[in-house]
Amino acid sequence: MRIQSRQLPVLTTARSSSSKGISNRSLLATAIGLALASAGAQADTPPRQPVPQALPKVSVESTTTEPRSPKYTQPLADTPRAVTVIDESVLRDTAATSLVDALRTVPGITMAMGEGGQPFSDRPFIRGFESSTGTLVDGLRDTGAQSRDVFNLEQIEVAKGPSGAFAGRGAPGGSINLVTKQAQFDDFSSATARAGNANQRRATADINRALGDSLALRMNVMWQEQDIPGRDAVFDDRWGVAPSLAWQPGERTLVNLGYTHYESDGLIDYGHPLDQVTGRPVSGIDPDNFYGLVVRDFHETEQDAGTLELSHGLTDNLTLRNVTRYSYSTNDYVASNPDDSQGNVVNGLVVRNVKSNSSRNGTLVNQTDLTALFNTGGVRHSLATGLEYGHERTDRATYAVEQLAPGGVEIPRGGCDQFGAGAPSGYNCTSLTNPNPFDPWTGSIMRNASTITEADTRAAYVFDTLTLNDRWLLNLGLRWDDFSTTTSTGLRNDSDFFSHQAGVVYRPVRTGRFYLSYGTAASPSGSTVGDGGDNLGATGQDLQPERSVNYELGTKWELFGQQLALNAALFRTETRDAHVSIEPGRGGAQQAIGKQRVDGIEVSASGFITPAWRVFAGYSVLDSEIIDAGPINVADVGNELPNAPAHSGSLWTSYALTGQASVGLGANYMSKRYGNTANTRSVAGYWRFDLMAAYEVMSNVNLQLNVQNLADERYYERVYTTHMATMAPGRSISLSASIAF
């Protein structure tokens, strides 16, 4: 096992958190003023909360993984909510290359499928609620429909339950914070090369150099070419580069500058059509079948993102931090959808129905944090306050793609039986049982006129953990958002809302806690700024935001010398004022009257049972129900929520056999999932197993063998509300060689 070396910050102050609190803007301003007025106060320090000091630059080794976001004002053990941190060693041992791979190790998360702007991007449902707009990078909102690689990630922080206080708008199920690698004042380097079946080839390098006492430079690079195991013709090529610079001009000041460039080239795999009678994927077809066209279909993405972070310790107890991030991403594709909701599968023939997207998303976010430690009487405060401004702009269009048979005859939906497959249809029709992705399709592709959507966010927040005594902590948080969005077609939405969190922690013994918490989130119309499933609708209704509420009772224990964390939580999450149709047809009028509920239990274990035996595991039980679906979908009342499996579990465990050899085992289980609120579209549950074996050839050279999906289980990974379900990759076997220098 490789223990990661991390540089301690030059100045450590209050670690920010997220919680619930007060409910008006004057109290929010008062709390911010209190931090400024009281930060210099000295006080006796409670256990596990040392008074921060200016520290020399040193490197430390730690087996404890904690969130890096300043919005956590306490360590995880004293944070009253379920939070999972996936560290770099888990990413390495599981051979994860994408965010989808990484989140597979966290139960209660289902990746959903879309049809428009994000058909196959990172679209997580956490505890049954979509939280794609709750994705953050280094604590700042990361927008645009993307499929993310993990080559420049140090860890991934998953906060369960409505996370409006943490992430702002659109985090009803939780939030995901991606922590990038930053330059350190130390010298270390590593490189890894991987090869495997399905033409897998991947190489990464991480080089860090201290350029004197006050300057450090780090470079991360990645290159990948691979086909998708078990899927005909589908491929996923990527490359990226991420330099970062750290500069310490003074003892209390630190500047971090980071940049990422990332590109991908592949095919979108819409999977297999759903049988309209059974509601499940069509049976009796080869699981490898891909219904797209290699010569026509494409999926190209690109992202450039730059971050500037400035932090300054005003005193030993007060730190000011400002972060600015600008990102520009593109997402272009033409894909073949073999859906059957419109009769596209007839008499054993399939229309290669075109889906397309061409979007450009630019986002500028600036966030200022003030963190402080101070006393008021006998109460110790660990406080974080901040202001945030964000501007987002999306230019989105579709492509006009010819779907003509010879002679210029247009292929109608379900019209393949009039032409036949292959050449008679201009290769716009293919066989259900034996499609040929390499058919020589010809035709034109042109970009249509685009719609521009812009959004502005202004927010203020405050978090405080009050240590009342050695046994009791009170965690409070409040965020106010002013969100407005407009489109070039004249639609507009303006929303103004609060998000809260509150929690109480009781510590009966040094290694055990019980907590009770409450949190909220709000999702206004237009949250995805035109690049996802949420939009303002054809009517341009200015509806009040959808609101989510979470109640959670949990316990956290640290065993085996505080090397193993055991957590359990009992929770209820409700979405109120959900936007539901009150008129038939797409784009019809809506009202904010819907209600949904998920009751659940979650248990997890993370850490070391022995110095040689590590475990990272969890299990989730979800009991979801639609309480109110409006007058159009009244029959859905009582049904389960889409993408909310009743049972899901994950396990990754590794054991060091000797000083040089180690083995690992992974297991994933997910029960049946529905794709729609009517519960008429579904995919079956599945088990998946992974294996790992690693050997240290010499002190700086390691070999690692990974077998993912060991049994070559052909299961469906995502299911859409009407048309199709996507097949998960088959067995993957890869060998990696790593060198540290």
Residues 57-81 pLDDT 10s: 333 333 458 888 889 999 999 999 9
The tokens of 415 are what?
């019209």
Asked if 414 and 341 touch (Cβ cutoff 8 Å), the reply is no
Give the pLDDT mean for 576-594.
74
Mean pLDDT is lowest, of 124-128, 293-297, 462-466, 497-501, for 124-128
Asked if 290 and 437 touch (Cβ cutoff 8 Å), the reply is yes
Interatomic CA distance for residues 589 and 314, integer angstroms: 53
Torsion angles phi and psi, residue 89, rounded to 5: -70, -35
Query: Residue 117 above 70 pLDDT?
Result: no
The tokens of 310 are what?
């400035």
Residue 635 burial class via C-beta count within 10 angstroms: exposed 0-12, middle 13-18, buried 19 and up: exposed
> How many other C-beta atoms lie within 10 A of the C-beta of residue 100?
20
pLDDT at 525: 85
DSSP state, residue 657: S
Query: Residue 23 above 70 pLDDT?
Result: no
Q: What is the pLDDT of residues 197-229, one digit of tens each?
A: 999 999 999 999 999 999 999 999 999 999 999
Interatomic CA distance for residues 10 and 486, integer angstroms: 43
> How many other C-beta atoms lie within 10 A of the C-beta of residue 1?
13
pLDDT class for 139, splitting at 50, 70, 90? very high
pLDDT at 42: 36
Asked if 310 and 321 touch (Cβ cutoff 8 Å), the reply is yes
Interatomic CA distance for residues 354 and 130, integer angstroms: 25
pLDDT class for 9, splitting at 50, 70, 90? very low
pLDDT at 13: 34
Interatomic CA distance for residues 548 and 163, integer angstroms: 9
Query: Residue 265 above 90 pLDDT?
Result: yes
Which residues have CB under 8 Å from 432's CB, separation 6+? 273, 282, 285, 345, 348, 349, 350
Q: Spell out the SS3 assignment of 669-718.
A: EECCEECCCCCCCEECCEEEEEEEEEEEEECCEEEEEEEECCCCCCCEEE
The tokens of 353 are what?
């129905």
pLDDT class for 10, splitting at 50, 70, 90? very low
Which residues have CB under 8 Å from 31's CB, separation 6+? 21, 22, 383, 385, 462, 464, 478
Give the pLDDT mean for 38-59.
35
The tokens of 36 are what?
């400024």
The tokens of 656 are what?
């060091």
Query: Residue 530 above 80 pLDDT?
Result: no
Q: Which residue in this structure is represented by tokens 């102050």?
A: 13
Q: Between 48 and 601, name the one with better pLDDT.
A: 601
pLDDT at 723: 84
Helix (H) or strand (E) holding 59: strand 59-61
Interatomic CA distance for residues 27 and 477, integer angstroms: 11
Which residues have CB under 8 Å from 212's CB, separation 6+? none
pLDDT at 32: 39
Query: Residue 556 above 70 pLDDT?
Result: yes
Asked if 475 and 505 touch (Cβ cutoff 8 Å), the reply is yes
Q: Which residue in this structure is represented by tokens 């034996």?
A: 434
Query: Residue 40 above 60 pLDDT?
Result: no
Q: Between 7 and 135, name the one with better pLDDT.
A: 135
Interatomic CA distance for residues 77 and 87, integer angstroms: 17
Interatomic CA distance for residues 2 and 567, integer angstroms: 25
Interatomic CA distance for residues 546 and 533, integer angstroms: 15
Q: Spell out the SS3 assignment of 228-244.
A: CCCCCCCEEEEEEEEEE
Torsion angles phi and psi, residue 102, rounded to 5: -65, -45
Burial state string for 297-336 with b = 16 or more CB within 10 A and e = fewer than 16: bbbebebebebbbebbbbebbbbbbbbbbebbbbbbbbbb
Q: How far is CA 536 from the centre of its chain?
A: 23
The tokens of 410 are what?
């247009």
Question: Which residue type occupies 45?
Answer: T
Q: Which residue in this structure is represented by tokens 């889409």?
A: 642
What's the Cα-to-Cα distance from 221 to each of 33, 95, 190, 196, 640, rounded to whole Å? 44, 16, 11, 20, 43
pLDDT at 30: 39
Of 476, 464, 474, 463, nearest to 507 (Cα)?
474
Interatomic CA distance for residues 370 and 29, integer angstroms: 13
Of 287, 110, 101, nearest to 673 (Cα)?
110
Question: Which residue type occupies 157?
Answer: E
pLDDT at 222: 98
Interatomic CA distance for residues 269 and 229, integer angstroms: 13
Asked if 722 and 274 touch (Cβ cutoff 8 Å), the reply is yes
Q: Which residues, listed in sequence order, are joined to residue 224 by a DSSP beta bridge?
A: 202, 238
Q: What is the pLDDT of residues 383-395, one digit of tens each?
A: 999 999 999 999 9
How do beta strands 546-559 and 564-581 pair?
A: antiparallel
pLDDT at 59: 32
Asked if 731 and 709 touch (Cβ cutoff 8 Å), the reply is yes
Query: Residue 639 above 70 pLDDT?
Result: yes
Q: Which residue in this structure is represented by tokens 């450039």?
A: 304
Q: What is the pLDDT of residues 683-719, one digit of tens each?
A: 999 999 999 999 999 999 999 999 999 999 999 999 9
Classify domain 188-349+358-402+444-740 at the CATH superfamily level: TonB-dependent receptor, beta-barrel domain (2.40.170.20)
**Four-CA torsion 685, 686, 687, 690, nearest 10 degrees:** -130
Interatomic CA distance for residues 283 and 278, integer angstroms: 10
What's the Cα-to-Cα distance from 696 to each of 63, 188, 431, 663, 740, rounded to whole Å? 20, 18, 50, 12, 11
Mean pLDDT is lowest, of 376-390, 523-537, 617-631, 651-665, for 523-537
The tokens of 295 are what?
């010569």
Query: Residue 8 above 50 pLDDT?
Result: no
pLDDT at 532: 64
pTM score, whole prediction: 0.89
The tokens of 539 are what?
């009517």
How do beta strands 647-656 and 613-628 pair?
A: antiparallel
Q: Which residue in this structure is represented by tokens 């779907």?
A: 403
Give the pLDDT mean for 339-348.
84
Give the pLDDT mean for 263-277.
93
> How many other C-beta atoms lie within 10 A of the C-beta of residue 552?
22
The overall average pLDDT reported for the chain is 87
Share of the chain above pLDDT 90, in %: 73
Asked if 386 and 368 touch (Cβ cutoff 8 Å), the reply is yes
Give the pLDDT mean for 101-120.
78
Query: Residue 231 above 70 pLDDT?
Result: yes
Helix (H) or strand (E) holding 217: strand 215-225
Rama region for 95: left / alpha / beta (φ>0; ψ in -120 to 50; rest): left
Query: Residue 31 above 50 pLDDT?
Result: no
Q: For 138-277, where are the alpha helices, taking DSSP H only?
A: 164-167
Share of the chain above pLDDT 70, in %: 88
Interatomic CA distance for residues 723 and 197, integer angstroms: 31
Interatomic CA distance for residues 457 and 164, integer angstroms: 13
Query: CB-side exposure of 545: number of CA atoms within 13 Å?
Result: 27
Q: Between 144 and 449, name the one with better pLDDT.
A: 449
How do beta strands 701-708 and 140-141 pair?
A: unpaired
